[in-house]
Amino acid sequence: MTLRIPILRPGGLEPFPPVERALRRPNGLLAAGGDLSVPRLLEAYRHGIFPWYAEGEPILWWSPDPRNVFATERLHVGTRLRRWLRRCDWTIRADLAFAEVLRACAAPRRGQPGTWITAAMQAAYGGLHELGHAHSIEVYDRDGALAGGVYGVALGRMFFGESMFSARTNGSKVALIALCRMLRDWGFPWLDAQVASSHLARLGAFDMPRATFVAETERLAALPGVPGRWADRWPRLVASELAD
């Protein structure tokens, strides 16, 4: 089957098509081509669009309908996880190991033949991080090893989650809970999770109509956010504090 979508030219900042023109099958495919420059990535996120493609494919741009999100003040922490957190002495920091979190998220996973976090994507998001737009949340065990993490992009008071990983059981959950807690305190109402999964649903993610998501994104991205690296703004947080 031939898919007819706009092809963007690399270089410059050619406008994205309106998200309403995205395909229904596959859900949300909007355009192909272009590049992963910082201005283009920021323009994409500002309008509810993100890149996702496999090695060897052209860059593909997506805006699915509906959009999966977390309300940062309503993350679901189940009784068993809450009980486990009370005994956990891991620490959570931000922006101390962005490249390591990115590489861990890109590592092959069981049942997946490859990764969408290609070398080009890692370089692009590393550039966003250097400019204070992309951030990582790191979870360290008592020996100082990474137990899990999550990374994403912040624009104004909107956060777009990209990927997370666990090196230890519950590592990614601790990172996500800590991120939601801090985003809530900083006045970020939503965390974009992109596409629904049963794992995210168990933590409280839900589907939002794309039109609502895009309107909220454009509104929140225009507000003052938390600029620069978050390492100095993030308190030294212990996982047991997340049980409350």
Segment 125-157, tens digit of pLDDT: 999 999 999 999 999 999 999 999 999 999 999
Do 218 and 109 sit in the same domain of this protein? yes
Indicate whether 1 belongs to any domain: no
Q: Are residues 148 and 203 in the same domain?
A: yes
Identify which has the larger pLDDT, 13 or 92.
92
Q: How far apart, in whole angstroms, are the C-alpha atoms of residue 27 and residue 53? A: 14
Q: Identify whether residues 184 and 214 lie together within a single domain.
A: yes
- Minimum mean pLDDT range among 68-77, 110-119, 185-194: 110-119
Reduced to 3 states (helix: H, G, I; strand: E, B; else coil), residue 157 is coil
**DSSP per-residue codes, 82-111:** HHHHHT---EEEESSSHHHHHHHHHS--TT
Measure Cα distances from 75 to 106, 173, 174, 190 in Å: 25, 11, 12, 10
Domain end marker among 65, 93, 110:
65
pLDDT for position 10? 93
Tokens 């922490």 belong to residue = 77
How would you classify the pairing of strands 206-208 and 67-71?
antiparallel
Examine the pLDDT at 244 and tell me if it is beyond 60.
Answer: yes
Checking if the pLDDT of 45 tops 60, the result is: yes
Residue 2 is assigned to a structural domain of this protein: no
pLDDT digits (tens, 9 = 90+) for 71-88: 999 999 999 999 999 999
Q: Which residue has the tokens 């994409």?
A: 44
pTM: 0.95
pLDDT of residue 1: 52
Kindly give, in sequence order, each residue whose CB lies less than 8 Å from that of residue 39, ignoring residues fewer than 6 positions away.
13
Q: Examine the domain organization and report whether 33 and 93 are in the same domain.
A: no
**11 and 111 part of one domain:** no
> What's the one-letter identity of residue 211?
A
- Number of folded domains in the chain? 2
Dist CA 49 CA 66 (whole Å): 13
- CATH code: domain of residue 47: 3.30.70.3550
Scored b (16 or more CB within 10 A) or e, 23-44 reads: eeeeebbbbbebbbeeebbbeb
Q: Is 239 helix (H, G, I), strand (E, B) or coil?
A: helix
Residues 57 and 72 in one domain: no
- Identify whether residues 75 and 149 lie together within a single domain: yes
pLDDT at residue 109 in the model: 72
- Residues 79, 167, single domain; the answer is yes
> What is the pLDDT at residue 110?
67
- DSSP state letters, 206-233: EEE-HHHHHHHHHHHHTS----S-STTT
Distance CA 173, CA 129 (A): 22
Indicate whether 106 and 134 sit together in one domain: yes
Cα separation of 173 and 7, whole Å?
Answer: 37
In a domain, 122, yes or no: yes
pLDDT of res. 220: 98
Question: Is 150 within a domain?
Answer: yes
pLDDT value, residue 111: 60
Q: Is the dihedral of CA 112, 113, 119, 124 positive or negative?
A: negative
Domain boundary residue, one of 65, 84, 103: 65
Q: What is the CATH number of the domain that holds 220?
A: 3.40.630.70
Mean pLDDT of the chain: 95
Do 86 and 108 sit in the same domain of this protein? yes
Together in a domain, 191 and 101: yes
On whether residue 154 sits in a domain, the answer given is yes
User: Percentage of the chain with pLDDT > 70?
Assistant: 97
Q: Is 115 a domain residue?
A: yes
Tokens 């031939």: give the residue.
Answer: 2
Domain that holds residue 180: 68-243
Q: Give the model confidence (pLDDT) of 90-116 as tens digits.
A: 999 999 999 999 999 999 876 665 578
